[in-house]
Amino acid sequence: MTSADEQATRSIAVLVAQEGIEQVELTGPWKALVEGGWDPVLIAPDAGEVQAFEHLDRADTFPVDRTVADVTVGGFAGLLLPGGVANPDALRTDTAAVDLVREFVEGGRPVAAICHAIWMLVEADVVRGRTVTSWPSLQTDVRNAGGTWVDQEVVTDGSLVTSRKPDDLPGFNAVVLDVLAAVG
């Protein structure tokens, strides 16, 4: 394996909209990935920066590494979907982003979604027949999409890892790292 191939297998796509990302749901898993030896890559529909929030208040901005149009599933070992209400709500209207999520899941690569990010999995039609968790207000969306919703800190269904909220980040991060370790 060449060093470029090895780097690609250590890269994790972190897909967000341009605005509305819950900052701790981006920075907490990002830090865990880096400490676990992974290379997170921030991907958004447009180049430039993305705006994170601490609930409803503007927080930090982060530079976009690559745009959705410039990436393929093959360049990544897995996918992280941070939450925040506005983030996945905006992102799920981007057809290319939804297609990318579907390709990750259908390709069997690890996909981790926290809180409201489950909307991306619902929109990609990949929760049917799966057991997942999310922010509680989204359980009807999951059920309507054919999934089983449970109220647990972290749920793993195959290569899909889901979690409910920022308080669950320690458990979520640990499980995500375990799932990634199994593939790479």
Active site residues: 115
Check residue 51 and report its DSSP letter: E
Our CA dihedral for 129, 153, 162, 160, rounded to 10 degrees, sits at -70
Cα of first residue to Cα of last residue in the chain, in angstroms, is 13
H helices of 54-94, where?
Answer: 86-91
What DSSP letter does each residue of 153-170 carry, written as one string? SEEEETTEEEE-SGGGHH
**CA neighbor of 63 nearest in space, from 75, 51, 72, 54:** 51
CA dihedral over 99, 112, 68, 75, signed as positive or negative: negative
Q: How far apart are CA 66 and CA 61, in angstroms?
A: 15
